[in-house]
Structure formats: structure tokens, C-alpha cells
Structure 1
Amino acid sequence: MEYLAVLLPSLAVGAIFYFVMRAIFNADRAEREAEAAERTARDNSPAQSPSETVADVEDGDTPR
């Protein structure tokens, strides 16, 4: 029983560390997938017309 009392805190901290790191890596993976999907959608969208500039879009004008 002494061994369990000695090892339990280390095992608990190790388990918490494992779950926290797993959550961080899963969130990072999901963010990378979302960015890739956004990049793919943006690359597949129709090209802007030459008359439309970035300043027009930033001013709030809707694309034609």
C-alpha cells in the first residue's frame, strides 16, 4: 500500500498532463484542417474582376 501512496500523485499528474496535451494537439489539428478548408474554398472561388480593388472591398462596397 505504501507504493501506491508514493506513485499515485505522479500517476495523477502524468494522466492530467496526457489529457491536456491531447486536447491541445486535437485543437491544433482541427484549426489546421479549418484553415486548409478555408484556403481551398478561397482558391476555388471565382477570381475578382480587374476593376475591383482591395480598397473597394475594404470600404464596404459589395463585389460586382
Structure 2
Amino acid sequence: MNTFLAVLAGLIPSVGVGLLFWLAMRKIMHADRNERLALDRMDAEENETAKGTTA
């Protein structure tokens, strides 16, 4: 039982760091996707405005 607890104690920090890394990367990917969507919306609005002023 002591061996199991020692192995578990050795794995918990690695799992914790892995979980934190996963959460950080997930947040970064979601932020990037949302920023790209916002930029696409801005570009579409600018294109509509440009078409309206030249016509």
C-alpha cells in the first residue's frame, strides 16, 4: 500500500501540470477562434460599407 501511495504521490504533480497546460491551451485556442471570427465580421462590415460608398 505504501508503494501505491508513493507512486500516486509522484504522479499527482505531473497530472496537475498536464491539466493546467491543457486548460491554458484550450483557452488560447478558444480566444484565437473568437478573435478570428470577430476579424471576419469586421472585414465583412468594411466590405459592405466600401461597396455602399462606391456604388
TM range (shorter): 0.7 to 0.9
2:46 paired with 1:42: yes
In structure 2, list runs of 5 or more residues that go unmatched: none
What's the RMSD between the two structures over aligned residues?
1.4
The AA in structure 2 aligned to 1:37 is R
Q: Taking CA–CA contacts closer than 8 Å with sequence separation of 6 or more, which of the two structures ends up with the larger relative contact order?
A: 1
Normalised by the length of structure 2, the TM-score is: 0.81
How many angstroms does 1:47 deviate by?
2.1
2:11 aligned to 2, 7, 15, which one? 7
Runs of 4+ in 1 over 6 A off after TM superposition: none
How many angstroms does 1:48 deviate by?
5.2
Whose Rg is larger? 1
For these two proteins, the number of residue pairs brought into alignment is 49
2:23 paired with 1:19: yes
Relative to its length, the structure with more helix (as a share) is 2
Normalised by the length of structure 1, the TM-score is: 0.70
In structure 1, list runs of 5 or more residues that go unmatched: 50-64
